[in-house]
Amino acid sequence: MNGAAAAAEAAARGSYGRLLAWLAWQWRDVAAAEDALSDAFAAALERWPRDGVPDAPDAWLLTAAKRRLLMAARRQRLADDPALTVLWPDEHAATPDAAPLPDARLRLLFVCAHPAIDPGLHSALMLQTVLGLDAARIASAFLVKPEAMTKRLVRAKAKIRDAGLRFEEPDPDEWPERLASVLDAIYGAYTLHWGLSDDDDAGELAGEARFLAELVASQLPGEPEALGLAALLWLCEARRPGRRARYRPLHEQDPGDWNATLIAQANAALHEAAMHRAPGPFQLEAAIQAAHTQGRIDGRVPWKGITRLHERLLEIAPTVGARIAHAVALAHALPDPRAGLRLLDAIEAERVAAHQPWWAARAHLLAMAGAHPEAALAYGRALALTVEPRLRAWLMERLRAEEAAARPGG
Amino acid sequence: MEFVLTFHQPAEVFEINDDPVRGAEPMQAWRLYMDAMVGAGVLRGANRLEQFAGTAVRVRGGKRQVQDGPFAETKELLGGYALIDVASIDEALKWAERCPGSAVGVTMVWPVRPTPKPAQ
């Protein structure tokens, strides 16, 4: 790759979201800002090899994009009212402006997770606008028809423009709910990588989500839930190296493989968040992960404390995932696998018939209870619902073990 | 909404699957996959096909042409299909992804075109 292409690449990676957020904020039109910015990148790739890379590539790109937006707006206004022509500045007069750009990415995140936008699209919109991922890649990550994903994103952006969604920070009365939507969408983007088998791509997507979580936490240091989400992602990331080679459940992982710096960073963030005395789902999730992590390091998992954290989490957010995790924690805390199984069976069957974590949890508790044939069946079902190859390999091992235990004399 | 999933795989995959020893694990994966679709209440029907024994029949200008498979133009052979009934294309894609064949071949997802009710 030549210097100009590399500089354009670097600008794209480093500043795409920053530039787009600012343009979208100024123009209140995400799609138009995206078009203008991609034109600007195309122009850069053509001009820079010839004229040299400008001193401030970002400012150059921004100026070029603004010029395109102005031209488009002028064309529109000319069509509406030709008399306005004189009011518009000559686009060639615009000079690169090197003043630091106010960071509008947080505003853009709030718009992407606006209540007027389908919640199922919040993560996808963030990945596309703030991080510049293309629709085809987003479609693969979400396992959606590429054509359908493109259409949904286009519609969402039209809605942002046509409904005039505000790029200002939400009002205090709607703040907690709006922030929760932003954090949920970032977490949604992070959890996407669990379904992917390609290590590099998976790691990259997780990295992008972590970048967003850190961005929000750094811009809103007084928000305990923003800290909670960052802490949660750091704890998950800290254990990634251990997962990379072969899947192992937490209690079989070697803490020596974990990233101690990230764990310390997460614990510090959790402590800071706790000072606000406003626990929320992400702080609780992170606290559960922290307890598991510390328990593994100390050699004794504090199941009773973990169960209490799960109970508090259920009071705030009784999701299927939270109910499953609670059932497993309770089974270990008592210890009584049947008590956990009763909680699992209380979840509506149609919600879990094709839900891998439910079958894996059920299999684990059945094995704990010594019900090997039933455990083997449940592991088989979990296996059929799993795509990730390392997780499949581990479930297959468990299935074989339960099949062996179920055989007479086994 | 109904969808037909068609399972296409390279010839060597079928050879492995048909081997009693090497095929034990993949065939168990297929059984578990079908069980999971039954358990989730989405499976309307499924069949394996004799993927090496397909025969092509064409009639062109009144002349018939009969050709035995496997057909050189396709690297992956059609080894079976399933008819499923799910809420959306998204859910159909999810079942296609879970198919053991998707890891070694390709699973195609075909929306079933609704047929108008026959006039009485």
* Higher pLDDT, residue B118 or A278: A278
Extract the residue ranges of chain B whose pLDDT is less than 50. Answer: none
Q: Is the pLDDT of residue A79 over 80?
A: no
- Contact with chain B for residue A404, Cβ under 8 A: no
pLDDT at A323: 96
* Higher pLDDT, residue A280 or A195: A280
Determine the average pLDDT of the residues in A255-280.
93
Distances (CA, A) of A243 to A149, A303, A322, A328: 30, 22, 22, 21
| CB-CB under 8 Å, B41 with A384 | no
Distances (CA, A) of B77 to A20, A262, B48, B69: 46, 48, 12, 10
Determine the average pLDDT of the residues in A295-323.
93
- Which residues, other chains included, contact A4 with Cβ-Cβ below 8 Å and sequence gap of 6+? A44, A45, A48, A49, A53
| CB-CB under 8 Å, B29 with A384 | yes
Chain A residue with minimum CA distance to B34: A384
A353: burial class by Cβ within 10 Å (0-12, 13-18, 19+)? middle
Q: Any idea which of A63-67, A261-265, A274-278, B50-54 has the lowest mean pLDDT?
A: B50-54
Q: Is the pLDDT of residue A14 over 60?
A: yes
Cβ density class A14-23: b for 16+ within 10 Å, e for less? ebbbbbbbbb
A284: burial class by Cβ within 10 Å (0-12, 13-18, 19+)? buried
- Which residues, other chains included, contact A120 with Cβ-Cβ below 8 Å and sequence gap of 6+? none
| CB-CB under 8 Å, B89 with A148 | yes
Give the pLDDT band of residue A199 (cuts 50, 70, 90): low
Apex CA B107: angle with CA B104 and CA B109, to 5°?
A: 170
pLDDT at A95: 47
pLDDT at B32: 97
CB < 8 Å to B26, chain A: none
Tell me if residue B20 falls in helix, strand or coil. coil
| CB-CB under 8 Å, A387 with B98 | yes
**Tens digits of residue pLDDT in A353-364:** 999 999 999 999
Chain A residue with minimum CA distance to B103: A387
pLDDT at A362: 98
* Min distance A349 CA to chain B CA atoms (Å): 9
Output the six-digit token pair for A24: 């979208």
Q: Is the pLDDT of residue A91 over 60?
A: no
From the list A217, A26, A17, A28, the residue with the least C-alpha distance to A130 is A17
CB < 8 Å to A383, chain B: 29, 32
pLDDT at B113: 93
* Higher pLDDT, residue B96 or A166: B96
| CB-CB under 8 Å, B103 with A385 | no
CB < 8 Å to B43, chain A: none
| CB-CB under 8 Å, B98 with A385 | yes
| CB-CB under 8 Å, A143 with B36 | no
Number of residues that make up chain A: 410
Q: Any idea which of A136-140, A245-249, A332-336, B88-92 has the lowest mean pLDDT?
A: A245-249
pLDDT at B16: 94
Cα distance between residue A339 and residue A318, in whole Å: 18
- Contact with chain B for residue A389, Cβ under 8 A: yes
pLDDT at A383: 96
**Tens digits of residue pLDDT in A120-156:** 999 999 989 988 888 888 888 888 899 999 999 999 9
DSSP H stretches of helix in B1-120? 11-18, 24-39, 89-98
Restricting to A residues 59-88, those with a Cβ less than 8 Å away from any Cβ of B are none
List residues of chain B with CB under 8 Å from any CB of chain A. 25, 28-29, 32-33, 35-36, 39-42, 89-90, 93-94, 97-98, 103
Q: Is the pLDDT of residue A114 over 90?
A: yes
Q: Which residue among A380, A381, A387 places its CB closest to the CB of B97?
A: A387
Cα distance between residue A129 and residue A104, in whole Å: 12
- Contact with chain B for residue A145, Cβ under 8 A: yes
CB < 8 Å to B94, chain A: 143, 354
* Min distance B113 CA to chain A CA atoms (Å): 17
- Across-strand partners of B9? B77
Determine the average pLDDT of the residues in A48-66.
86
Number of residues that make up chain B: 120
Q: Which residue among B33, B41, B103 places its CB closest to the CB of A384?
A: B33
CB < 8 Å to B107, chain A: none
pLDDT at A243: 52
Determine the average pLDDT of the residues in A241-260.
77
Tell me if residue B46 falls in helix, strand or coil. strand
pLDDT more than 90, % of chain A: 52
Chain A residue with minimum CA distance to B95: A385
Restricting to A residues 146-175, those with a Cβ less than 8 Å away from any Cβ of B are 148
pTM of the model: 0.84
Give the pLDDT band of residue A86 (cuts 50, 70, 90): very low
* Min distance A196 CA to chain B CA atoms (Å): 11
pLDDT at A8: 64
Give the pLDDT band of residue A42 (cuts 50, 70, 90): confident
Q: What integer best gives the mean pLDDT of chain A?
A: 86
**Tens digits of residue pLDDT in A92-108:** 444 445 556 677 888 99
pLDDT more than 70, % of chain A: 86
